[in-house]
Amino acid sequence: MSLVKIEGLCKSFGGLEVLRDISLDVERGEVIALIGKSGSGKSTFLRCINGLEQMNSGTIHVDAEPVEADERKLQKLRLKVGMIFQQFNLFPHLTALDNTALALRVVKNMSAAEARAVGLARLEKVGLGHRADSRPHQLSGGQQQRVAIARALAMDPVVLLCDEVTSALDPELVEEVLQVIRRLAEEGMTVIMVTHEMSFARSVCSRVVFMHEGRLHEMGHPEEVFGNPKTPELRQFLGQTASAATAE
Amino acid sequence: MIQSFDFSALSDYSDVVRHGVYITLLLITVGAALGLAVSILCVWARLFCPAWVRIAVTSYVEFVRNTPFLIQLFFIFFGLPQLGVSMSEMTAAIVAMAINLGAYGTEIVRAGVQATAKGQWEAATSLGMTRNQAFWRVVLMPALQKMWPTLSSQIVIVMMGSAVVSQIAVQDLTFAANFIQSRTFRAFEIYFVVTAIYIVLAALVRLALRLIGRWVLATGEVP
Amino acid sequence: MTDFTLQQIIYALVLGARWTVLLSLSAFILGGILGLVLMLGTISQRKWVKLPALGFIWLVQATPLLMQLFLIFFGPALFGKDVPAWMAACIALTLWSSAYLAEIWRGSVLAVQKGQTEAALSLAMLRGQALRYVVLPQAVRMALPPTAGFMVQIVKSTALASIVGFTELMKTGNILSNVTLDPFVVYGLVAIVYFCLCYPLSLVSRKMETVFDVTR
Ligand SMILES: Nc1ncnc2c1ncn2[C@@H]1O[C@H](COP(=O)(O)OP(=O)(O)O)[C@@H](O)[C@H]1O
Ligand SMILES: [Mg+2]
């Protein structure tokens, strides 16, 4: 069975249909780039996968764990799913190390020493072992996002959801975060990422999924999707992002 | 011994209640108007007066904000006559409310004035206005508009607090309640009903303030 | 005029002020406990918990404290029960404080960004854990200045207890004023004692506003 299995996912906010009958299988080790216009439902899609949004119908399984409304069951699912946010959402009252160690202690009942050891190892993995005692506001945006990645990795998830993780960063800080994700991908981590970094998607991702008006409009290998887009919507979208990129 | 509730006794005293409502509304109307005037004057004084006046204003604000309204009221009504300053219960109540609201209002309006962009002052003075003119003609209105919701809440708080003026025999709504209570001994029903009337009055005052905000201050806020 | 020296008046007022302090402290502590429960109620996901909590807070804030005090002091007589003045004052002030404190704290909790809870939930924390380890520690910092500020309101509000006959600072002042026939001095002193109780709290509150900058 696929690592992430999504079938017939529908989600609306009030009368607004945001996700329409989405089905997607993601295999272990795949890196999926989710692209599409703002408002097309990408964030909502990711948030349904770890139960931050409740779906209206459909089923989602991650590593055979179903997404259900029940809090305890959601907890079991979320142990397998890491999430990185656009705005980092680090805990401002805790140091970088305590950010990574908190859930280990609270959720996994590790001892303080154990949790700190795991947390520190993950911070080192993202190249921030030396900033373990810094508070978030003392770190640059790129460093904060890397701490957020370390924090998610500390829980040993089987899949990582990344929602525009470089969009809030100054341009010169984008690369250090992408670098970390690239390394994770090479090590075989399964990643589903919403991104506007087309060249990154092209070079790192195994599959690109184009979302349009709440549907998976077109998907395929990056070469195919970028080189030979089939639908006019995707062609228009790629044209826009290309011209936006050259305009910058 | 559990008696049944009996609200009928109240109906005999509807005139007393009506008079109480009238007095309470009169107090808050006059008190709020005077209190706002005091607030604006104090903010003005803090900006334009010599140091000793500014210190006096600050002391007034701090002293009022850090003492109970009840003691302010008693000091004015019972204490001041010793200095030859006597006033009727009603006047004392209104003065106390104005002084109380004035202190809080000063802080609120001042915050509004401070939030007004420096550019406003500069633009006004560069048009040839004195800073004093700029205050009255350019800065004050936006400050009041901006802080009107906060001022409105403070006015409602002062109205709730005005229940204690019954203690110097002002015949407000609470006085009416106590009066009926002492005649009928139906404390629960009376205080229950009067409490409900206060809720309605507060809602009315809030509504009135909102309309004033819209029409007089043109805050453009949707009611 | 009964011959009371100034010292005697001040001494009596300070004795009365002890009760004001005690009443304030009990209202703050008991009201704080109840306020915490109420606040948790208002942020509950369950409507039947949330709505009554919000309703109670609204009701208390929409009515004069003096009416609440009268209801509690005179109301139970209907059922043949007598409530002593100190107890009525304590109950009324506790309920009153709890509503305002709950509102202050609720504001602080809601001011902690939604992303914080979402991050905690994404790390597999339960709602309660997210609240306990992530949201509350941040909310407490924001809540401290207004909480200290509200303690000033509590101290001032205890003066109403004098109206139902509890002999705290204000009532002591009334008695002294009657026997000395010198209300100007007595009430002036009463005001000064209240000021001495309240002003430090105001200063602490203001100081905390600058110390506990939310972003740190
Ligand atoms: N909590 C919400 N309540 C109501 N509408 C929402 C909510 N979250 C998202 N939406 C709407 O759902 C649509 C998809 O949003 P989103 O998933 O954030 O898109 P994307 O991430 O692709 O920009 C948008 O129209 C957005 O306004
Ligand atoms: Mg999005």
Q: Say if A3 falls within a structural domain.
A: no
In a domain, A17, yes or no: no
Contact by Cβ (8 Å): B31, B157 = no
The reply to whether B160 falls in a domain is: yes
For residue A223, the domain's CATH number is 3.40.50.300
Structural domain for B69, as ranges: 12-219
pLDDT grade for B186, boundaries at 50, 70 and 90: confident
Q: Do A92 and C134 touch (CB under 8 A)?
A: no
Measured between CA atoms, how close is C103 to chain A, in angstroms?
A: 23
- Containing H/E element for C74? helix C65-74
Total domain count, chain B = 1
- Cβ separation B195–C80 shorter than 8 A: no
User: What are the sequence ranges of the domains in chain C?
Assistant: 17-165
B contact chains, 3+ CB pairs < 8 A: C
Contacts of B12 (CB under 8 A, 6+ apart): none
Q: What is the pLDDT of residues B85-127, one digit of tens each?
A: 999 999 999 999 999 999 999 999 999 998 887 788 888 888 8
Under the banding of pLDDT at 50, 70 and 90, the label for residue A244 is: low
Contacts of A81 in chain C (CB under 8 A): 122
| Residue finishing a domain among A103, A133, A156 | A156
Banded model confidence at residue C77, pLDDT cuts 50, 70, 90: confident
What b/e string do you get for A135-170 counting C-beta neighbours within 10 Å, with b at 16 or more? bbeebebbbbbbbbbbbbbbbebbbbbbbbbbeebe
Share of chain C above pLDDT 90, in %: 87
In angstroms, the CA C212 to CA C142 distance is 7
Instruction: Assign B1 a pLDDT band (cuts: 50, 70, 90).
Output: very low
Describe the crossing of helices B14-48 and B140-161 by its angle, rounded to 10 degrees: 140
The mean per-residue pLDDT over the stretch A43-61 comes to 95
**C9/B218 Cα distance (integer angstroms):** 52
Q: What is the pLDDT of residue A185?
A: 95
A216's enclosing H/E stretch is strand A215-220
* A166 and A231 housed in the same domain: yes
A188-199 pLDDT tens trace: 999 999 999 999
Residue C1 has pLDDT above 90, yes or no: no
Q: Which of A156, A172, A187 is the last residue of a domain?
A: A156
The answer to whether position B3 is within a domain reads no
Sheet holding A190-194, edge to edge: A81-84, A159-163, A190-194, A31-36, A207-212, A215-220
Q: Complex ipTM, two decimals?
A: 0.94
The 8-class DSSP code of residue B164 comes to: G
The answer to whether residues A146 and A248 belong to one domain is no
pLDDT of residue C33: 98
* C168 φ/ψ angles, rounded to the nearest 5 degrees: -100, -155
Instruction: Give residue C213's pLDDT.
Output: 61
**Does A103 contact C127 at a Cβ distance shorter than 8 Å?**
no
- Rounded mean pLDDT of A121-136? 96
pLDDT digits (tens, 9 = 90+) for A83-102: 999 999 999 999 999 999 99
Q: For residues C207 and C213, give the distance between their C-alpha atoms in angstroms, rounded to a whole number.
A: 11
A80: nearest Cα among A193, A192, A155, A157: A157
Q: Is residue B103 exposed (0-12), middle (13-18) or buried (19+ Cβ within 10 Å)?
A: buried
Element containing residue A11 per DSSP (H, E): strand A4-13
List CB contacts of A70: < 8 A, sequence separation 6 or more.
Answer: none
Interatomic CA distance for residues B154 and B102, integer angstroms: 10
- Pocket around ligand 1 at a 6 A CB cut-off: A 13, 16, 18, 36, 38-44
Q: Which amino acid is at C16?
A: G
pTM of the model: 0.88
Task: Write down the pLDDT at residue B222.
Answer: 45
pLDDT of residue B217 exceeding 80: no
Ligand 1 site-directed mutation target among A44, A46, A53, A237, most atoms within 8 Å of CB:
A44
What's the pLDDT score for residue A245? 61
Q: Is the pLDDT of residue A66 over 80?
A: yes
Q: Are residues A170 and A199 in the same domain?
A: yes
Q: Distances from the Cα of C81 to the Cαs of C76, C77, C85, in angstroms?
A: 5, 5, 13
Q: What is the CATH number of the domain that holds B144?
A: 1.10.3720.10
Report the CATH fold assignment for C17-165. Answer: MetI-like fold (1.10.3720)
Does residue A247 register a pLDDT over 70?
no
Reply yes or no on whether the pLDDT at C92 is more than 80.
yes
User: A39 CA to middle of ligand 1, Å?
Assistant: 6
Confidence at B39, pLDDT banded by 50, 70, 90: very high
| pLDDT confidence of residue B125 | 85
Of the listed ranges B182-196, C97-111, C161-175, the least confidently predicted one is B182-196
Q: What is the pLDDT of residues C55-73, one digit of tens each?
A: 999 999 999 999 999 999 9
Please answer whether residues B23 and B161 qualify as being in contact, where contact means their C-beta atoms are separated by less than 8 angstroms. Answer: no
Per-residue CA distances from B148 to A10, B64, B113, C58 (Å): 45, 21, 12, 21
Q: Which of B61, B30, B28 is nearest to B43 (CA)?
A: B61
Which letter does DSSP use for residue C62 in this model?
Answer: T
Average pLDDT, integer, range C186-195: 97
- pLDDT for residue B219: 63
Give the CA distances from residue C62 to residues A221, B193, C8, C164, C213, in Å, rounded to whole numbers and listed in that order.
Answer: 63, 14, 41, 21, 31
Task: Give the model's confidence band at B3: pLDDT under 50 very low, under 70 low, under 90 confident, else very high.
Answer: low
State which residue of chain B sits closest to C174, comparing Cα positions: B74
Residue nearest to atom 13 of ligand 1 (CA): A39
Higher pLDDT, C45 or A48: A48
Q: Are residues A147 and A207 in the same domain?
A: no
pLDDT higher for C28 or A245? C28
β-pairing, A4-13 vs A57-62, is antiparallel
Res B122: pLDDT: 84
Kindly state whether residue B102 falls inside one of the protein's structural domains.
yes
Distance CA B173, CA B197 (A): 9
Q: For chain C, what is the mean pLDDT?
A: 93
Report how far Cα A156 is from the mean position of its chain's Cα atoms: 14
Dihedral sign of CA atoms B34, B40, B41, B42 in order: positive
Q: Which residue has the higher pLDDT, B2 or C58?
A: C58
Residues on chain C touching A107 (C-beta within 8 angstroms): 123-125, 129
Question: For C59, which residue in chain B has the nearest alpha carbon?
Answer: B199
Could you tell me the residue range of the domain that residue A229 belongs to? 28-54+68-80+159-248
Residue B218 has pLDDT above 90, yes or no: no
Burial class of A215 by CB neighbour count within 10 A (0 to 12, 13 to 18, 19+): middle
Residues of C in CB contact (< 8 Å) with A are 113, 115-116, 118-127, 129, 133-134, 137-138, 141, 215-216
C and A interact (at least 3 Cβ pairs within 8 A): yes
Query: Does residue A241 share a domain with residue A190?
Result: yes
Residue with tokens 């902690």: C112
Residues A231 and A150 in one domain: no
Query: Both tokens of residue A81?
Result: 């799913």
Q: Is A14 a member of any domain?
A: no
Closest CA to B66 of C197, C10, C18: C197
Final residue belonging to a domain, choices A118, A141, A156: A156
Query: Which DSSP state fits B82?
Result: G
Q: What is the pLDDT of residues A164-209, one digit of tens each?
A: 999 999 999 999 999 999 999 999 999 999 999 999 999 999 999 9
pLDDT for position B2:
46
Q: Quick check: C37 pLDDT over 90?
A: yes
Structural domains of chain A, count: 2
- C184 and B67 within 8 Å at the Cβ level: the answer is no
* Rounded mean pLDDT, B134-138: 90
Most C-contacting residue of A102, A104, A149, A153 (CB-CB within 10 A), to test interface: A102
pLDDT digits (tens, 9 = 90+) for B11-23: 788 899 999 999 9
CB atoms inside a 10 Å sphere around CB C169: 29
Per-residue pLDDT tens digits for B56-73: 999 999 999 999 999 999
- Check whether residue A179 and residue A211 sit in a common domain: yes
